[in-house]
Amino acid sequence: WFIFKWLPIFTEMSRPRWSQSASILLFLGDKICMVRRSGSSRFMPHALVFPGGKLEEDDEKWAREYLAGRTNRCCCSRCNPGDVTDLAFRRFALRELKEETSIELDVSEAVSRMVY
């Protein structure tokens, strides 16, 4: 009974909250792009990870505006879907790659070859 005394009891308040996040895997031949997390990161310091992060409100806002016709600046060459989430994640993936690695892909080429 001693061991069970210290086990956490999950309640509605203690359940983890899910966030919309993703990573992007960039391949070049047999190489793959990874980044090293900062040593001061609270989560997995110094770990090698794929570029990524959390979907930001601006990504979804841009996707809604694009679908409503308020912006003609597309994030890719394949913007036909009527799904806000699909467009937001495409933009998000390219933004995270640029922010974390300074790699800016030719968007028309990159997204047409995206697999998700």
pTM (whole model) above 0.85: no
- The residue among 100, 91, 86 whose CA lies nearest residue 56 is 91
Residue 4 pLDDT grade (very low, low, confident, very high; cuts 50, 70, 90): very low
pLDDT at residue 95 is higher than 80: yes
* pLDDT attached to residue 54: 86
Cα distance between residue 25 and residue 32, in whole Å: 7
- Token couple for 107: 């968007």
Residue 55 pLDDT grade (very low, low, confident, very high; cuts 50, 70, 90): confident
